[in-house]
Amino acid sequence: MVSHSSRRNAADGNAPQANIRWVFNFARRHKRALLGCIIFGMLGGLSLAMEPFLIGAIIDHVGSGADMGVIGQDVLLLIFFGILTVLAFYGQRYYSGELSYSVNYDIRRVLFDNLLTLDQSFFAHFPTGDLISRMYSDVDMVWRMVTLTSLRFFSAFTGLVFIFVLLASVNITLTIVAFIVLMISTAIQVVAGLSLAPKFERVQEQAGVLAALVQDAASGIQTLKTFGRESGAGENFARANEEYRKRWIYFKRRNEPVGMLPNMISQLTMGVVVLFGGIQAINGNLTIGNFAQFLIYLGMISNLLLQLGTIYQRYQQGRGALTRLTPLLVHAKIYDPPAPRLLDKSKASIEFKNVHLSLDDTELLHGVSLTIPAGEVVAFVGPTGCGKTLLANLLARVNDPTSGSIVIDGRDIRDYDLESLRDAIAYVPQSTFLFSQTLEDNIRMGLDDLLDSEVNQAVHISRLSNDLAQLPQGMETLVGEKGVMLSGGQKQRVAIARAIVRDPAILVLDDALSSVDTHTAADILDDLRVVLRSRTSLIIAHRIATVKDADRIIVMDQGRIVEDGSHADLIKSGGLYSRMIERELLGEAATHG
């Protein structure tokens, strides 16, 4: 998980940058695998470079009529280095797999753990499909880069170094000529490849758009079918898919020439070596074995440069992918204090002290001050958008006040450990999110040590028990993505059961019975009142029947508290609450009339 120290750095804005150094820091955590890649890679490059050298020596020894014992030693050395090459590349592949998959695991975990700490404002700017694309497609590109680099780079680089050392020992002039040609050609490849990363980033951005469209269509398939918008969704996807195709083609047309440069370099070098080497051999400055060595080494150089060129291509693609991963590393604006305290899950008193809240430069809460004693049931009512939900969300630090403070049990909530604070608060929203798991898993939500009797009691109180007979497998029924198998009322009752089993210190019901029929809602409230009396409870509702029995009713309007009192007192005052009741009664009369 993200450490407290890293969260404290959030205020400084020193979020990590997803770059090559960042990836290498993950690789360094796995020293055994990294050293294995380096050692076996260098060993493989060395042994591979020795083989043509020995072949050339054997040719010259045979041509000069050397003793069979000398030739036999050369052959045995050639076999030895051949076996060593096989073993070295086996070790390199083994440790490369361990390193690349370990780094991939670490990166995904760091990104996911950091996502869990981020605020809602972050997720408002990144569609779900785009985040999924970054977490999978872009991380996969980084994995490919690490895999290819750890598998090929050390052997290719070491092999090239030793090849030039051995060639220099044979003929320094020819080696210098080949080296100059290779350096000029390689420099051209590097310069040509510098523009690839931004182009590939554009490809990945469009991949994120496609993923977002698929996610939206899958999640909203019922709405699409209800409104007959399947063709419209298909056209949107077709346009985005066409743009993705164009961007890929644009990238490939510029990427492939860069990838072909190693072959061009090899062919150019081959021509130079054959020309100068042939002249040297004719003049007697180069033996047939030496000339054979040069020709074999050129083939090896071509292959090794091709490997380095492919690594360079992967590097450019990886850079583009890493650029897209950087936003996922941003620090949370809400984080643990340096010395966090744990919140006791007993009854908790709550105090709002002159709380102001601004979002996107708009002030939404204006100097809210309110004291709620432990164990009290307080209801919040008011027009839509008056700030009821915003105020309740401040308790779990979904947002922090722009100014003012919130105190639980005599201490500012910013002094508490975030996990401890949120564990003490159970929030039941109007719109319930369910995971694609069984009904029971959605109620337990990770609390595997709960007794079955506790779960059954919560199911009874929420009146979800009334519907179990209609579900194919009862509590073991898979609810589908976002609970698509359940009705709106059933989802809300699952959320209520989920909140009850947590036995929180503070229970927040945010219009949690809006999708439940009036009769069932009354039954739930009767049992909930017993539960609510044992903890501090905040009820946000529009139905008067839901709030009239609360200890206090807080009436809000335009981000301010305008009334505070019991149901009877507020009716007598003739204010906003009284007018809301009148409108509700008139609406019911019109409905029944």
Q: Convert the pLDDT of each residue in 539-552 to its tens digit.
A: 888 777 778 778 89
Query: Can you give the pLDDT at residue 10?
Result: 41
Q: What is the pLDDT of residues 282-324, one digit of tens each?
A: 776 777 787 787 778 877 877 787 788 778 878 888 888 898 8
Sign, CA dihedral 74-80-83-85, equals negative
Tokens of 497: 């059961």
Q: What is the pLDDT of residues 315-327, one digit of tens each?
A: 888 888 898 899 8
For the chain, domain boundaries: 4-329, 341-424+504-593, 433-503
Domain 4-329 shares a fold with domain 341-424+504-593: no
Query: Can you give the pLDDT at residue 350?
Result: 92
Region 500-517: mean pLDDT is 81
Comparing 43 with 345, which gets the higher pLDDT?
43
DSSP reduced 3-state for 539: strand
Comparing 451 with 65, which gets the higher pLDDT?
451
CATH T-level fold of 433-503: Rossmann fold (3.40.50)
Q: For residue 108, is pLDDT > 50? A: yes
Query: Can you give the pLDDT at residue 55?
Result: 83
Q: CA 246 to CA 262: how far, in whole Å?
A: 26
Block residue for tokens 């000029």: 184
Region 200-205: mean pLDDT is 74
Q: What is the pLDDT of residues 111-131, one digit of tens each?
A: 998 888 888 778 878 877 788
Cα–chain-centroid distance for residue 513?
34
Q: Which one of 68-77, 271-280, 316-325, 507-516 scores highest in mean pLDDT?
A: 316-325
Comparing 1 with 30, which gets the higher pLDDT?
30
Query: Can you give the pLDDT at residue 12?
Result: 42
Residues 6+ apart with CB under 8 A from 97: 147
Query: Can you give the pLDDT at residue 9?
Result: 42
Q: For residue 190, is pLDDT > 60? A: yes
Query: Can you give the pLDDT at residue 4?
Result: 40
Q: Which one of 53-57, 91-95, 127-131, 494-498 scores highest in mean pLDDT?
A: 91-95
Q: Among 185-194, 308-317, 432-441, 520-529, whose mean pLDDT is lowest? A: 185-194
Residues facing 341 on adjacent strands: 416
Region 405-431: mean pLDDT is 88
Q: For residue 592, is pLDDT > 60? A: no
When the pLDDT of each residue in the chain is averaged and rounded to a whole number, the result is 81
CATH H-level, domain 4-329: superfamily: ABC transporter type 1, transmembrane domain (1.20.1560.10)
| 240 to 86, 231, 234, 245: CA distances (angstroms) | 47, 14, 10, 9
Predicted TM-score (pTM) above 0.85: no
Q: Among 51-60, 282-291, 352-361, whose mean pLDDT is lowest? A: 282-291
CATH of domain 341-424+504-593: 3.40.50.300
Comparing 508 with 234, which gets the higher pLDDT?
508
Q: Which one of 68-72, 205-209, 399-403, 489-493 scores highest in mean pLDDT?
A: 399-403
Query: Can you give the pLDDT at residue 124?
Result: 75
Q: Among 161-170, 248-257, 338-347, 387-396, whose mean pLDDT is lowest? A: 248-257
Comparing 514 with 382, which gets the higher pLDDT?
382
Q: CA 226 to CA 229: how far, in whole Å?
A: 8
Q: Among 43-57, 355-369, 411-425, 579-593, whose mean pLDDT is lowest? A: 579-593
Got the DSSP string for 399-447? S--SEEEEEETTEEGGGB-HHHHHHTEEEE-SS----SSBHHHHHHTT-
Q: For residue 29, is pLDDT > 80? A: yes
Tokens of 106: 């670490």
Region 139-150: mean pLDDT is 90
Q: CA 550 to CA 572: how far, in whole Å?
A: 17
